[in-house]
Amino acid sequence: MRIDVLTIFPQLFDAFFGASIVGGAREAGLVDLAAHDLRDWTDDRHRKVDDSPYGGGPGMLMKPEPLVRAIEALAGTKGEREGRRVVLMSPQGQPLDQPGLAGLARWEQLLLVCGRYEGVDQRAIELAVDEELSVGDYVLSGGEVPSMLVVEGLVRLLPGALGNPESLVSESFSTGLLEGPQYTRPPVFRGLAVPDVLRSGDHAAVAEWRASRARELTRCRRPDLFEAATDPTRPARAAAKEKQS
Ligand code: SAM
């Protein structure tokens, strides 16, 4: 898989692309990653990427010309892209979730576009962007951290990226539930003991305990997820969501 990021702050990605699971996957050749400076597609002396909004209002907007030029240079023209997807990080986008990530992981190449200022001229979105993606109902100053979220979430899904691929199976959201509590050594810490069952060596009992704690935690903290996970139509809905992205 190849993931390109278009940003006015490519230097933010230097450390991120080289560290941890993302860095390891890149090193192992599982993913190609590159951050591109949007200003390389400007054609004026000041390398200007923003302008004031029509109709007035606070702040600036990203101009359409360098943005569309850059997107078309990196991912081709909208409507003629094969295996490539251009995703704009945006609070107005579809909320990101695990099935959505799994859908994105199927593309050969993704171009993640990072907005800044007050956002992006609508014509650039219509002309060059395939989908808009939100990382939550809050506003950040730019699309760089949202892009990093997407890269990190996607890279975990690439076969071979995780030391133990079983992690993916038990993780929060893979079953539609949150993962339950986990413990490591020591057996007692400041008076709090690890539940006996986890030290019993009885794998079936451990699995049952984990499943019941996952159900209980999800029911208390995320009744919305619990309801969806126990809905018999859930697998069909998750598959549809994956297919959609
Ligand atoms: N004026 C915009 C609004 O009210 O929706 C907010 C623009 S925000 C300050 C600048 C950029 O940060 C956006 O264009 C987008 O790329 C990114 N961004 C901010 N919050 C985001 C979120 N929740 N999800 C994805 N991207 C986000």
| Domain spans in the chain, listed from the N-terminal domain onward | 2-155, 169-244
Q: How far apart are CA 96 and CA 113, in angstroms?
A: 15
Q: What are the tens digits of pLDDT across the range 148-165?
A: 999 999 999 999 999 888
Please work out whether the CB of residue 132 comes within 6 Å of at least one atom of ligand 1. Answer: no
Mutation probe of ligand 1 site: the residue of 129, 139, 144, 150 with most atoms within 8 A of C-beta: 139
Q: How far apart are CA 155 and CA 20, in angstroms?
A: 11
Fold (CATH) for 2-155: Alpha/beta knot (3.40.1280)
Q: Return the minimum-mean-pLDDT range out of 16-30, 161-175, 190-204.
A: 161-175
Q: Which CATH class is domain 169-244?
A: mainly alpha
Q: Find where tokens 């997407």 sit.
A: 150
Please work out whether the CB of residue 116 comes within 6 Å of at least one atom of ligand 1. Answer: yes
Q: Name the phi and psi angles at 145, rounded to 5.
A: -65, -45
Nearest atom in ligand 1 to the alpha carbon of residue 62 is: 14
Residue 141 C-alpha to ligand 1 middle, in angstroms?
Answer: 6
Please work out whether the CB of residue 54 comes within 6 Å of at least one atom of ligand 1. Answer: no
Q: If pLDDT is split at 50, 70 and 90, which confidence band does 245 have? A: low
Residue 115 C-alpha to ligand 1 middle, in angstroms?
Answer: 7
Please work out whether the CB of residue 164 comes within 6 Å of at least one atom of ligand 1. Answer: no
Q: How far apart are CA 108 and CA 104, in angstroms?
A: 9
Q: Taking a C-beta distance cutoff of 8 angstroms, is the pair 31, 157 a contact?
A: no
Please work out whether the CB of residue 89 comes within 6 Å of at least one atom of ligand 1. Answer: yes
Q: What are the tens digits of pLDDT across the range 49-107?
A: 999 999 999 999 999 999 999 999 999 999 999 999 999 999 999 999 999 999 999 99
Nearest atom in ligand 1 to the alpha carbon of residue 142 is: 12
Q: Name the phi and psi angles at 174, rounded to 5.
A: -70, -35
Residue 60 C-alpha to ligand 1 middle, in angstroms?
Answer: 13
Proportion of the chain above pLDDT 70, given as a percent: 98
Mutation probe of ligand 1 site: the residue of 140, 141, 144, 151 with most atoms within 8 A of C-beta: 140
Taking residues 142-146, report their average pLDDT: 98
Please work out whether the CB of residue 71 comes within 6 Å of at least one atom of ligand 1. Answer: no
